[in-house]
A = this chain, B = another copy of it.
Amino acid sequence: MGSQSDWATMRHAADTLDALGVPFTARIVSAHRTPDRLVAFAKGAKAAGHKVVIAGAGGAAHLPGMAASMTPLPVFGVPVETHALGGRDSLYSIVQMPAGVPVGTLAIGRAGAVNAALLAAAVLALSDPALAERLDAHRARQTAGVAEAPRDEATGG
C-alpha cells in the first residue's frame, strides 16, 4: 500500500487473506516518496515468489499502475477513499490504465480491500484445490449469513 494511513483500508484485505489461509506480505511502498522501493519491489515480485500483487492507494494513486508496469504478475488495485473527492480521484487514477498494462480494480474503500483479497484467492484457487474449497466454504457461509427478513435495531445512519 502507499502509506501507513492506507492501512485502515488495506487491513481488510489482510484480514480476508488470513481468514482464507492465504499467506501474504504487507509492505508500504509509496510510488511517490519511495520510487526506488517501488521499482525494486515490482521488478522483484515474481522472483520473490509472489503470485499476485494487491496495491491500495489514494488520490493520484499511481502505485497499482506503476507496479503493473514492472511485473508480469496480475495486479489488483484498491482505490482508497479520499476526503475531498470521495475516492473518485483514486478510482480514476487506478482503473483508467491505457491499453497494454492492466490493473484489475475493485470498489472504493473497505469493500474493495476485502474483494481484492477474494479475487486474489480466486486466482490462486485455480491451481490450489484446497484453497478453492476454502473459498467455496467462505461463499457458502456468506450466503447462509443473509437473513430472510430485516430486523429493527438501533441504527446509526
A87 touches B84 (CB 8 A): yes
B115 touches A97 (CB 8 A): yes
Partner of A89, one of B34, B70, B83, B96: B96
Q: Known: A119-B102, A139-B72. Contact between A85 and B88, CB under 8 A?
A: yes
**Contact mask for chain A residues 125-157; partner B; CB cutoff 8 A; 1 contact, 0 none:** 111000010011001001101111111110111
**Contact mask for chain A residues 96-109; partner B; CB cutoff 8 A; 1 contact, 0 none:** 11111111111111
Binding site for B on A (CB under 8 A): 1-4, 6-8, 10-12, 26-28, 30-35, 37, 39, 51, 58-62, 65-66, 68-70, 72-74, 76, 81-89, 91-111, 114-116, 118-119, 122-123, 125-127, 132, 135-136, 139, 142-143, 145-153, 155-157
Q: Give the 5 A-B CB pairs with smallest separation, nearest first.
A: A104-B104, A102-B115, A7-B150, A89-B92, A99-B114
